[in-house]
Amino acid sequence: MAKKIAVLGSINVDTTYHVQRFPMPGETISAGSKSSAPGGKGANQAVAAARSGAKTWFIGMVGADNEGKFMREALQEDHIDTKLIGIDELHGTGTALITLDAEGQNDIMVYGGANQAMTTEVLKNADAVFEEIDFLISQFETPQAVTAEAFKQAKEHGVTTILNPAPAHEILPELLQYTDVVIPNDSESFVLTGIKITDEDSMLKSAEWFKQQGAKNLLITLGSKGVFYCTPHGHGMVPAFKVKAVDTTAAGDTFIGALASQLDDDLSNVADALVYAQRASSLTVQKMGAMPSIPTGEEVKAALAE
């Protein structure tokens, strides 16, 4: 049966400049080309979940502008329910400026806009959705206070909450108290815990730190090394798939959305779900753009069968 997932998070229109290399401080360089596409960590994660077969809702904010209309329509094209996307009359829709080099690496500047202006008002009609869903996912591109309130409400309905603390910065203590699964990368984990990720022991210590804060399940993404997981069912590593990356934008978001689409509520199938999520992410990095590069469930399953 298809999973039911809501994503509370950011909506951005991504503009990508394609360059041979990143500029030095004070240097002006030429971009070979420029492209625009729907994006934002929250929107990407929702699309990844929906394309992998999950029934998906989105909770967020856009501006009263063309970009906001464009983003709502983009989500609807993937059959994502957008009724809980509010319209902010004072702030524009979020945007991201991405510089992508010839090796497929990127740096990103984000204008939060309506994403950062979001308040708990966006949750006023969310109870009916929380009553239906299996998982609620959020990130750090929208206010943590809104996420904390959403997670608290969702927990009252028996929903499993998933936090992707990216981009990493100081975390509200109460947020982790309502978090079931936390999914940072190694650098984000270090920012939050102060524990440098070097080996299995450091990852287990990180898992214990998160557990003491309230989050019982930890997944640390390690790029080309794979994913470490620690849950009450056990811990281990799931290796990454080796591919040539063209554009790493949305790789992590694809991983999280795809993972949630496969995960059992009690996380008992976490290792298998991680293999699926890793494969989905490996397909994303082989194409250009954020949302356009996210694979369907059929594409992931075909790749796994190779």
The per-residue pLDDT for 178 is: 98
**CA-closest candidate to residue 135, choices 18, 8, 232:** 8
Q: Is 40 annotated among the ligand-binding residues?
A: yes
Q: Give the C-alpha separation, 55 to 50, whole Å.
A: 6
Average pLDDT along the chain: 95
**DSSP SS3 for 147:** helix
At residue 173, the pLDDT reads 87
At residue 247, the pLDDT reads 80
Q: What is the CATH number of the domain that holds 196?
A: 3.40.1190.20
The number of C-alpha atoms within 13 Å of 135 and in the hemisphere containing its C-beta is 32
Q: What is the domain range of residue 282?
A: 4-304
At residue 99, the pLDDT reads 92
Amino acid at the residue 220: I
Does 44 appear as a known binding residue?
A: yes
Name the pLDDT band for 155 (thresholds 50, 70, 90): very high
Is 42 one of the annotated binding-site residues? yes
186: confidence class by pLDDT, cuts 50, 70, 90: very high
Residue range 190-215, pLDDT digits in tens: 999 999 999 999 999 999 999 999 99
- Known binder of ligand: residue 66? no
Least confident span in 83-97, 239-253, 268-282: 239-253
Residue-wise pLDDT tens digits, 110-149: 889 999 999 999 999 999 999 999 999 999 999 999 999 9
The string of pLDDT tens digits covering residues 29-47 is 999 999 888 889 999 999 9
Q: How far is C-alpha 239 from the chain's CA centre?
A: 20
DSSP code, position 252: H
- Residues involved in catalysis: 253
Percent of the chain at pLDDT > 70 equals 100
Count of domains observed in the chain: 1
For 75-87, the pLDDT digits (tens) are 999 999 999 999 9
Q: Is 247 a known ligand-binding residue?
A: yes
